[in-house]
Amino acid sequence: MKLEKIDHICIAVKDVKKAEEAYARAFDLEAIDHYVEENEKIKVARFMIGDVAFEVMEATSPDSEVAKFIEKNGEGVFLISFKVPDVVAGLAELEQKGFPLIDHKPRRWRNSNFAFMHPKGFAGTLIELID
């Protein structure tokens, strides 16, 4: 599979506003987008660093994956997203190679397809493919 680039990196935080202010102050960044994703139960502030997005995300529900991650691991790197030409083909290739998938078919967000790979297959890191 051909990875095109790192699309975005997500940091799980307890307080997205506080984290946004810290990154903005430390690195002279300005968030380019704020959104709440009801299905994923997250509130996000998104920055761009070159052509790679950097997100801080807060759980909006105690049963969200971000809340569970923070409970288990504390705040920190939650996800790395790789841009690929075709998520469906990427999923098929990874499954054929024996990697554990969370999603067997893509989800949809804005104008992109995306899918998650299980952290067990990637040294404890949640990997996302996005096209």
Query: What pLDDT digit, counting tens, does each position of 103-131 carry?
Result: 999 999 888 999 999 999 999 899 999 99
- pLDDT value for 14: 98
Q: What is the pLDDT of residues 76-106, one digit of tens each?
A: 999 999 999 999 999 999 999 999 999 999 9
Q: Which CATH number is 82's domain given?
A: 3.10.180.10
Domain count, the chain: 1
Instruction: Output 70 or 124, whichever has higher pLDDT.
Output: 70
Q: Are 78 and 69 in contact (CB under 8 A)?
A: yes
* pTM check: above 0.85: yes
Angstrom distance (rounded) from CA 18 to CA 2: 36
Residue 74 is predicted with a pLDDT of 97
| The pLDDT of residue 110 | 83
Q: Which domain holds residue 43?
A: 5-130
Interval 16-52: pLDDT, tens: 999 999 999 999 999 999 999 999 999 999 999 999 9
